[in-house]
Structure 1
């Protein structure tokens, strides 16, 4: 795995709707910009060699950094793969949609739900939103939120940005009834 850079974003919301947020709402994202493991190979029928070579190492690199930057118990999480223009969306999907990657985050957070995800192919500097959901119950609506991210110089055409995000709480000032109230 060839990592060019790691980017960490910490967002703290102190006020929402004209009212203080107490405790402060904290959301973090850690992204690794890596060389696409299938770079220059043309169409690859079986992506398993690249998955085996990279996915677990990426999860092991990113998950503890998210937990450290969050500096609080995690309650919501998500992931993203942004593939440079010379790659395929499937390249990013291959790296994040495997337990070899995601279980590092689930284990670090003592989580049980699937990680919501976004994947896209895009030029460097593209804005993307990482969806977040509750870490043990995806039906808890207070934790459905997203984090907007932009990495100015990534991904290059032959790179992939792989990101994990976590929140210590649901949306600031959330007031929606539980999902069961709609049924």
Structure 2
């Protein structure tokens, strides 16, 4: 699958509600804009070519994402896709299956939790909110977050943007309970 362009974003929060963070919250997103081989075509039952192609795309953007973390650990992750208007949402979903998720897990040194995702059809200038959750246990509420990604120059009608997001910690000033990251067992992906 041809990657047309790579877009990357860094958001580093250091203050929240007038309080300086003990450690900054760095979120990064990397989007690979690719040609959609199914754009403008009638319904296709078999999307396995997209699933297979997600391995190489995922490996490339996950490596970029980890490098943009600047040595900070990846504690949370999420994934998403914006499909150009000549395609369908299912094309983006096919690029985000477990095959893609396993590549993200490998890039960040593991993770047992399900990786949250969002997909949509949109044009150039579309924004998408990529949900984030703790990589080893979904019940760690402090890490429920999102990163808004706006792609000003993509996707064109026959393209898709495949996105990965990583975060270095939970929300600044989190205080709504739940198990902490240190209490998480990480065995079942939930607790």
Q: Give the TM-score category using the shorter length.
A: over 0.9
Q: Distance in 2 between matches of 1:26 and 1:179?
A: 22
Matched with 2:66 is 67
**2:121 counterpart of 1:133:** no
Runs of 4+ in structure 1 deviating by more than 6 angstroms, as ranges, are none
Unaligned runs of 5+ in 1: none
Contact (CA 8 Å) 2:14, 2:24: kept in 1 or not? yes
Q: Partner residue of 2:14?
A: 14
What TM-score, normalized by structure 2, do the two folds share?
Answer: 0.89
Distance 1:175 1:156 in 2: 41
Name 2:51's counterpart in structure 1: 51
> Equivalent residue for 2:117?
117
RMSD of the alignment, in Å? Answer: 1.3
Q: Deviations over 1:3-49 (max 9, x none)?
A: 11101101111110011112111100011011112234321111113
| Equivalent residue number for residue 163 of structure 1 | 163
- What's the offset of the Cα at 1:103? 0.7
Map 1:91-102 onto structure 2 (within 5 A). Answer: 91-97=91-97, 99-102=98-101
Instruction: Give aligned pairs, total.
Output: 178
- Could you give the per-residue CA deviations for residues 123-144 of structure 1, whole angstroms, max 9, x where no partner exists? 1111110000000001100000
Distance 2:136 2:56 in 1: 24
Aligned partners of 1:70, 1:133: CA distance in 2, in Å? 16
Q: Distance in 1 between matches of 2:54 and 2:40?
A: 19
In the TM superposition, residue 179 of structure 1 has moved relative to its aligned partner by 5.6
Structure 2: segments with no counterpart, 5+ residues? 181-191
